[in-house]
Structure 1
């Protein structure tokens, strides 16, 4: 019986049984939900028309939850850990992916006749006849040698199988299933990778791709540098022609989906709602003033439990972008001139209705500077920005025209409209280099500062110690009452009636335009949510609102142009929604890809413009760079490189290795994001060798890893998977 206990002692290995085994095997290349016992056509989902086993899914879900919780406990052995909502979302994702791949893999095993028979299982358990013992088996070791002890395992398994205790037989079967499952997975992986081979020619190509270096010079100009008025916008006729030529391109292939358009009416508290909170605070005000223990009073009566009586609780006027306690301009004078112990309010602050007790005052050191930012990213850009900054400072010192230079040169949108000034900001708010210059250089100093943003020309204008009140706040949330929510709901209902009338007899495209114009006319912004048919879900809404939106999208009879029959309540907002489009799988309609194709056409026109600008000027790259306002880039490239100095532009690498000889220059070439002219300056050939074994092994290893990591994704992508959990939960399908 002691040996049975040993097996049970190791039961953490069996928690998942096949489930944990499948999770370990299956989740490999996936990133990390629904109930409902009723039987229906889809169940919780289907794979190639067959329903997903709901009982097995629930088992995987339970195992995933246990596994996540166990991992958290192991990582934090001295703390009490919680199973969070995010943990449950991860468990649900894992369980669903596991259910799908489990079914697909079982089909694979069956199709190729892959099994683990009793003879093989026996050898795997006990490590006999050349088989390596399973991970479960190796838990049983000799106390002296530490080696695997098959006799101990055999005795333990015999006792477990023959034990009259409830659950022992099932535990034995689960254990055997687990060992067999791991073995069949190992065999499948071995079959997959057995077909991975690498030839000597492949090794040679890889060797030359890494060792041959092309030293090149090129002028590159991004499409974004083309002036807006230099190329005409693509016409509808051009877009239609492009669509006819490219609609079957893979990148435009559509997944079946529903596009929901909606606008949001916020349910904001009314004046009457605010007064209710004010009344409660007004009654608390004299008690707060008389309170001897302010922290206890705050913790008892405030909806936001926050108290501190040191510098961390110094409050600042609203609108300065600072974190921590704030107060609005409406009470600024009263608070700043109050005596210690005074209670100010009620007033409406950022977190709700407040009364504030003045506990004391502190001083906060602040600085005021003005600056000019010259953006830079690469070392070359920083060098150029520094040179430019030095020139600008000479002009400022001679002409005293800092603000004029801000307008002309500064690339900081946050300060360019106020002369480059940042006023009364506290120590630590800015990046360290900017902060140190502002607080430690003498007032009147002007100099340059290098930060991650670029080069700054900074002038220190003023420093002072600003008096800040230290406040204890009693905060009451201002919430909209049912009456207020009903008023907003009634307004949204009227919008729906109006839109329904306007939609009468109109096409889907016309309804789109009507909905957009109506929402904008009422002061709202139209938003969109695309729901994939294979995995219907809507993010950013509460459970009830999501159900209403999914019902709008999938209720029988609803089609493109259908508007919600009534407003949709989502916490403190009310939604008016309609089905903007129903997209079928496969070749797209023009309207679904028009914007993307128009962008591609615009890029082609920009490319042609740049090619025309560069054509015939290839002989002098430096002159071309000067004319285009671009930089002459020089670097050494290998064919195996993935990036170049200007970013990811594989066409630059391809052109360098396209057959150009040393000293030869290309014509202007269109890249992914710009146009370039390239010259090969010098080619350094790979050293001669006949040994490509390292490259052969590298390619083989990479290909094996790719196969092992991606075959599950390939199986799922080749299957027709429908996730019906959400629609089922909301009673839609």
Structure 2
């Protein structure tokens, strides 16, 4: 009864606890199912949803298939595939396209890994559908798992077959008529010669004309399709490098210097002082000494002089046994090195030509007998001995070793045991200059020993030059203070105070992962596109070798290019329009001669220019000018023309028509081929522009 009484007294508390538990359960379920503003779909195409779970599975599969593919790259690849699939599937349905087994087999036949497999080829080396079908039937019985994988991929193969049929249908609709062929022929071969006066836009200084932001926006709105842009952001950032200070370097050098001489250390186990021998002395166990004191493990490899650190190779290679060199710096380390041993003729430089035969272990054995291979190798060696300078050419033409044939057959720095025994024995048991034919399991080699190198074994203690904990803490403090101060003060002013530079990264897309000047930092891109991040917001990120204090400079939502981009593309166009007005005021007169006199310009001649290639020597491409000259009667003046590079006036001297041909079949075939090329990419672009595509990838943590 007492327990029941306590429960009654705390009934309100229990109700609240149960209520909160239910609410938590509901919220969890809502989030998992796309509630409270979280979409369940990664996007949609013309109202057809792309489910997120399916999409993420495909992204994961893409990364499994292609090693090194980042999540963002895989996401972009799969997204493009899904969008294209949705766009084209509708076209297949409208066109009534269906595919059968033969179409699927044709797709496999286009896959080199299948079509070039001898298992699926007939006696002529062609893909045999019957053999491939037999393989699939047997596979179902012998390896059901592999069969399931092929079956699961069948819809994708069928879709590819439909797409190929559809694209081929579209290509077939691109026809070049006789009239088209003739027009193209005339465009390329009719020539015009004309005199012209030309005043370049560059004769007017840029500061003499002004283009406002409103004018650029108006121009882009007028040409909206050309200047449409996806969402982008621009960032400013200060990179504060976490690197070793001068004091850190001095401390590291001191530490490695101390290893050269004997030192006394207290032994906790024996409660006595032990003397540790120095690196310069007689170290009982050099491997243990190096591994206990070095950031790079002990290495017993013998190395040639050319493989030693370039700036220190001479000193290191010429050390006496037991002698020590250093400390010295190499590749971000302080090092001390000790000569352990020297081995004469330890590595070699050789060149060879491999002649394989059927049954040899060569990667691509030639279709010849062993006897034929030997005869060929002997013949090549005779030619090489007669003219040693021809060895590289003989290797390129005859060698079946893909690793060396394009390098004159040369392998440098070959060490003992690296090659197969017969090859190895010839190289290391013969003097420099020796050449002969040597047989191995790979075939017959024409081998020449070009050089031999002494090698040395060196023990090296290396200490990485890196910032101390004290330095790293100071750098962190500086970066954190910069982040905090930048909430109130200009980042540029603060950067100057700490002797740092503000760098910019522009045109960063919603699905990008790389930031110019920083590298791959997807989390920064996500922050920049977050609805919670406003222009001017600043945040610090830990990056490789330091910290980046990042400011969102601007965000350009889906629409037109930003004004910053427009200044490099739109502004020159508008400036030239305004310059043209000023130039025309100077170009007084109704004839080329009058304009030349008014402007002090020289009358130039453009000879034999075609409409297909409207290039004026010394000026550039001027299609508008050449087109006007082509339409004028001989001796007539054009009036002023605003070209791409300046203002022109032309006077046509002659128009030479191309000679008549009995037919234009060659031009028709070439034009038709050109018009059909790139059909798929042009069609895909057109379908995307027309489609209603919703991309929600930005809402997911990629």
User: Under a length normalisation based on structure 1, what TM-score does the superposition of the two structures give?
Assistant: 0.56
Matched, 1:280 2:255: yes
Match of residue 46 from structure 1: 43
Q: Is it true that 1:170 corresponds to 2:167 in the alignment?
A: no
1:621–1:632 CA contact under 8 A, matched in 2: no
667, 671, 678: which one aligns with 1:695 = 667
Give the count of matched residue pairs. 520
165, 182, 207: which one pairs with 1:187? 165
Once residues 557 and 108 of structure 2 are traced to their aligned partners in structure 1, the CA distance between those partners, rounded to angstroms, is: 51
> Which position in structure 2 is the counterpart of 1:388?
none
Instruction: Please state if 1:578 is matched with 2:561.
Output: no
- Residue 269 of structure 1 aligns to a residue whose secondary structure is coil
Q: Structure 1 residues 63, 268: CA separation in 2 closer, same or farther (over 3 Å shift)? A: closer
Structure 2 counterpart of 1:114, from 83, 94, 97 = 97
Q: 1:557 to 1:729 in 2, by over 3 A?
A: closer
SS of alignment partner, residue 497 of structure 1: helix
Aligned in 2, Cα 1:176/1:574: closer, same or farther, shift over 3 Å? closer
Question: Match for residue 21 of structure 2?
Answer: none
Kindly indicate whether residue 189 of structure 2 is the aligned counterpart of residue 211 of structure 1.
yes
- The range that moved more, 649-658 or 611-620, is 611-620
Q: Does 1:535 align with 2:511?
A: yes
- Aligned counterpart in structure 2 of residue 487 of structure 1, from 453, 461, 474: 474
Distance 1:213 1:309, change over 3 A: same
**In 1, Cα distance between equivalents of 2:624 and 2:459:** 63
Alignment counterpart, residue 558 of structure 1, candidates 515, 520, 533: 533
> Is 1:104 the counterpart of 2:91 in the alignment?
no
Distance 2:526 2:251 in 1: 37
* Residue 226 of structure 1 pairs with residue 208 of structure 2: no
1:121-156 Cα deviation digits (max 9, x unpaired): 2555799xxx99998799887966778766656655
CA shift for structure 1 position 196: 2.0
**How far apart in 2 are the matches of 1:479 and 1:587?**
47
Kindly indicate whether the alpha-carbon contact (under 8 Å) linking 2:588 and 2:595 is maintained by their aligned counterparts in 1: no
Q: Work out whether residues 41 and 50 of structure 2, in 8 Å CA contact, stay in contact via their aligned partners in 1.
A: yes
Say if 1:61 and 1:590 are closer, same or farther in 2 by CA, change over 3 A. Answer: closer
User: What does 1:513-662 correspond to in 2, within 5 Å?
Assistant: 514-520=490-496, 523-530=499-506, 534-540=510-516, 545-547=521-523, 549-564=524-539, 567-587=540-560, 593=566, 597-611=570-584, 615-616=588-589, 619=592, 632=604, 634-641=606-613, 643-646=615-618, 648-651=620-623, 654-655=626-627, 657-662=629-634
The CA distance in 2 between the partners of 1:345 and 1:142, in whole Å, is: 65
Cα distance per residue 1:527-581 (max 9 Å; x no partner): 333465652434347789531x2343233432223222xx212112322222222
In structure 2, runs of 5+ residues without a counterpart are 1-30, 262-277, 340-457
Instruction: Classify the secondary structure of the residue corresponding to 2:537.
Output: coil
| Aligned counterpart, 1:256 | 231
In the superposition, relative to structure 1, how do residues 199 and 257 fare at CA in structure 2: closer, same or farther (>3 Å)? same
CA drift of 1:210 comes to 1.1
Counterpart among 465, 481, 484 of residue 497 in structure 1: 484
Q: Do the aligned partners of 1:622 and 1:632 also contact (CA within 8 Å) in 2?
A: no
Helix, strand or coil for the counterpart of 2:235?
Answer: strand
Per-residue Cα deviation, 1:403-451 (whole angstroms, up to 9, x for no partner) = xxxxxxxxxxxxxxxxxxxxxxxxxxxxxxxxxxxxxxxxxxxxxxxxx
The 1-side partners of 2:124 and 2:550 are apart by: 71
In 1, Cα distance between equivalents of 2:220 and 2:110: 54
Deviation at 1:277, TM superposition (A): 2.0
Shift of residue 676, structure 1, vs aligned partner: 4.4
Provide closer, same or farther for how the CA distance between residues 488 and 722 of structure 1 changes in structure 2, counting only shifts above 3 A.
farther
Deviation at 1:612, TM superposition (A): 5.1
Residue 729 of structure 1 aligns to a residue whose secondary structure is: coil
What is the correspondence of 1:381-460 to structure 2 with a 5 Å cutoff? Answer: none
Tell me: CA distance 1:210–1:488, structure 2 relative to 1, closer, same or farther (3 Å). same
Task: Encode CA deviations 1:315-335: one digit per residue, 9 max, x unaligned.
Answer: xxxxxxxxx6499xxxxxxx9
> Compared with structure 1, are the counterparts of its residues 57 and 525 closer, same or farther at alpha carbon in structure 2 (3 Å cutoff)?
same
- The answer as to whether partners of 1:234 and 1:598 remain within 8 angstroms in 2 is no
SS of match in other structure, 2:544? coil
| 2:198–2:648 Cα contact (<8 Å) kept | yes
Equivalent residues of 1:160, 1:172 under 8 A apart? no
The alignment yields a C-alpha RMSD, in angstroms, of: 5.4
Report which of the two structures shows the higher radius of gyration computed on alpha carbons. 2
Matches of 1:148 and 1:164 in 2, distance apart? 23
Q: Cα deviations across residues 65-105 of structure 1 (Å, max 9, x unaligned)?
A: 64x6xxxxxxxxxxxxxx5x479987666444334323333
Q: Distance in 2 between matches of 1:720 and 1:352?
A: 57
Q: Hey, what does 2:175 align to over in structure 1?
A: 197
Shift in Å, 1:485: 2.6
Q: Structure 1 unaligned runs (5+)?
A: 1-36, 69-82, 315-323, 328-334, 359-470, 503-513
Q: Which has the higher strand share?
A: 2
Cα-to-partner distance string for 1:674-708 (whole Å, 9 max, x where unaligned): 44454544322111246233333333222222323
